[in-house]
Structure 1
Amino acid sequence: MLIVEILFLLRDIVIACVAAVWNFLITPKYKDVKDEIVLITGSANGIGRGLALAFARRGCILVLWDIDEAENEKTAQLVTEAGAKAYPYYCDLSKRKEIYRIGKKVQKEVGDVTILVNNAGVVIGKSFLECPDEEIENSFQVNTLAYFWTIKVFLPKMIEKNYGHIVNMSSSLGLTGINKLTDYCSTKFAVVGFNEVLSYELQHDQYDGIKTTLICPQCVKTRMFEGCKLRFPPICPFMELDYVVNKSMQAILTNQYILCLPRLVYFQAVFKASLFNGAKSSCILGIYI
């Protein structure tokens, strides 16, 4: 009956609100990830390398995917020096068939991935009409579609065991659009929606042992955003890499559903929706390149 369904819905909403308040007041204990097989895309530098080293210090087995072989080998070396095993692979994330091929190779050579970190990304940094068609396609292939394909490879084994963790790296720019980042913002908005629906599907099918974490940091001091200038650096400065990595690890280890950095980002969507018709929050919080 409809009334019964509504009552169940209200019950679930109350439970979710109570759980959210509880988690806000009481920090959950970190889970043990020792010997977990962690695959990180975009591991050659930046956040990917930082997360690889953080997982290495916790005794994980690292599978490293990147198109930059030389830098990815350096990441693998750093992971090894930290006392963990590293398996670097060249993988062009713009190619679906290659993702499937390398994914199967990893399962055969290393084992079943239990923590998947979709982190790789590219950015053009031009206004819409200035963006070449090929680069727009590449942005969606790497920043969004690659997330679909990696999860398609590794999720079935997680489902078999009802165990695993999928981490999807989005951005604060996946919540609020910004001038001259047409491709990047669009792909990151898509990741936010994808992560939300994926989480709902796993909950609906009662795979409660498979967790998802969405990470939405503001612009970080990495190679990707070199040349980018913030309009209000004293208020919204570039985020330090170590800070983002540490907060991301905290979110992953406590099974946090979404992490926005800094906390101001949590209010961006509300702020944007609450403005009068015609106002643009990105004009206030905007980034100019």
Structure 2
Amino acid sequence: MRYKTTLDLRFPNFFRFALLFAFNSLLFFIELFQLYTRVVFALIESLIYATIISKRRKSIANELILITGAAHGIGRHLALSLAQYGPILVLWDIDKEQCDRTASEVVKQGGIAYSYKVDVSDFDQVEQTSLKVRQTIGDVYMVINNAGILNCKALWNLTSRGIEKTIKTNLLSHFWTVKCFLPRMQQVGRGHIVAMSSNMGLYGRSYFTDYAASKFGVIGFMQALDDELRVTHNNNIVLTTICPSAVETGLSKIRPTRISWLLPVLNLDYTVNRIIDAILRDEHLVIFPYGYKIFYYIIRQCPRKVSQLITDFVGNTVEPN
């Protein structure tokens, strides 16, 4: 009798466990099927937008747009080109004289621009100037984090101060500007954050240890921020990460790759036009020219030795300083 009583007590528990397991398994496979269908539809949608239908360009007329690093190079050319679309530009740079010149050129073209001296590596300066902009001009709709420096030296030739300055300017400045401007974007339910990374943010090369680390960090920052905005239902704030190849900006000595027809050195005009097009179409991760996108996807799947052979064949695009 004792044996039968034990069976009577255990059988219902086993039966209950089996039913629960079967039910949970069914739910799992239903969710898996839902995931599969959503992935398929998302892939089809992405393929259509990539090959057949381009996203329409949005209007930025009368929108307040902040550009960091606006005194020289890409930042300056971005300001001059974006001015044609009718926004109100707020230009930041540590070089106030050249930043003022950029603003003056925008005004000569019929645009509106305000110039500020800001060291974007310094959070206090970013915070104080962001408050000043909000109080005197208005709410910033778009932040273009463009400020950057490039040492282009072997690690053992870099100073600790130089490394720290690169990380602060190229990476931490993104944290500072976003912390200052994102809360207001969340309040009004709209905004756009643009981060200038690089193909060196996708794979490291010699003489780019500090620079690559900062640009890898930018991509990681933007990906994590994108997910935070998604899970907190701030989907109306757009994030765009730009990853161009080597650009003739004067930051370093550029030399062409062995297959320049596929992996060219970019000129400023093409680079700026591509960036603006990506911004106006709300693109997410922008790797260009297209040859570098292919190059990136190939070498990240290859064993280390194979990647080294390929990159050695292609050649480096800079000479160390």
TM, length-normalised to structure 2:
0.85
Contact 1:178 1:286 (C-alpha < 8 Å) held by counterparts: no
Q: Structure 1 residues 83, 203: CA separation in 2 closer, same or farther (over 3 Å shift)? A: same
Letter in 2 for 1:284: F
Contact 1:175 1:268 (C-alpha < 8 Å) held by counterparts: no
Q: Structure 1 residues 63, 277: CA separation in 2 closer, same or farther (over 3 Å shift)? A: closer
Map of 1:80 onto structure 2: 107
TM-superposed CA distance for 1:75, in Å, is 0.5
Map of 1:162 onto structure 2: 189
Q: Secondary structure at the match of 2:251?
A: helix
Contact 2:241 2:285 (C-alpha < 8 Å) held by counterparts: yes
Map of 2:312 onto structure 1: 283
Moved more, 64-73 or 8-17: 8-17
Which consecutive unaligned segments of at least 5 residues does structure 1 have? none
Which consecutive unaligned segments of at least 5 residues does structure 2 have? 1-26
Letter in 1 for 2:40: V
Q: Secondary structure at the match of 1:65?
A: strand
- State which of 41, 46, 53 in structure 2 corresponds to 1:15: 41
Give the superposed CA RMSD.
1.7
Q: Secondary structure at the match of 2:119?
A: coil
Contact 2:197 2:241 (C-alpha < 8 Å) held by counterparts: yes
TM-superposed CA distance for 1:7, in Å, is 4.3
Map of 1:222 onto structure 2: 249
Larger radius of gyration: 2
Contact 2:89 2:113 (C-alpha < 8 Å) held by counterparts: yes
Moved more, 44-53 or 141-150: 44-53
Tell me, in whole angstroms, the C-alpha distance in 2 between the residues paired with 1:143 and 1:3. 45
Tell me, in whole angstroms, the C-alpha distance in 2 between the residues paired with 1:96 and 1:126. 27
The alignment covers a number of residue pairs equal to: 288
Map of 1:105 onto structure 2: 132
Q: How does 1:157-196 map to 2 (within 5 A)?
A: 157-196=184-223
Q: Secondary structure at the match of 1:206?
A: coil
Map of 2:13 onto structure 1: none
Map of 1:55 onto structure 2: 82
Moved more, 205-214 or 273-282: 273-282
Letter in 1 for 2:48: W
Q: Structure 1 residues 15, 206: CA separation in 2 closer, same or farther (over 3 Å shift)? A: farther
Contact 1:176 1:268 (C-alpha < 8 Å) held by counterparts: no
Tell me, in whole angstroms, the C-alpha distance in 1 between the residues paired with 2:294 and 2:212. 17
Q: How does 1:247-262 map to 2 (within 5 A)?
A: 247-262=274-289
Letter in 2 for 1:29: R
**How big is each residue's C-alpha offset from its partner over 1:208-251, in whole Å with a ceiling of 9 and x where there is no partner?**
211111110011111212x2334437343320101011111111
Task: Tell me whether 1:43 sits opposite 2:67 in the alignment.
Answer: no
Letter in 2 for 1:212: L
TM-superposed CA distance for 1:276, in Å, is 3.0
Moved more, 6-15 or 190-199: 6-15
TM, length-normalised to structure 1:
0.94
Contact 2:257 2:264 (C-alpha < 8 Å) held by counterparts: no
Map of 1:33 onto structure 2: 60
TM-superposed CA distance for 1:54, in Å, is 2.0
Q: Secondary structure at the match of 2:305?
A: coil
TM-superposed CA distance for 1:5, in Å, is 4.7
Q: How does 1:208-219 map to 2 (within 5 A)?
A: 208-219=235-246
Q: Secondary structure at the match of 1:94?
A: coil
**How big is each residue's C-alpha offset from its partner over 1:42-63, in whole Å with a ceiling of 9 and x where there is no partner?**
0011111111122211110000
Q: Structure 1 residues 134, 233: CA separation in 2 closer, same or farther (over 3 Å shift)? A: farther
Map of 2:17 onto structure 1: none
Map of 1:140 onto structure 2: 167
TM-superposed CA distance for 1:2, in Å, is 4.5
**How big is each residue's C-alpha offset from its partner over 1:178-234, in whole Å with a ceiling of 9 and x where there is no partner?**
111111111101111111111111122222211111110011111212x23344373
TM-superposed CA distance for 1:269, in Å, is 2.8
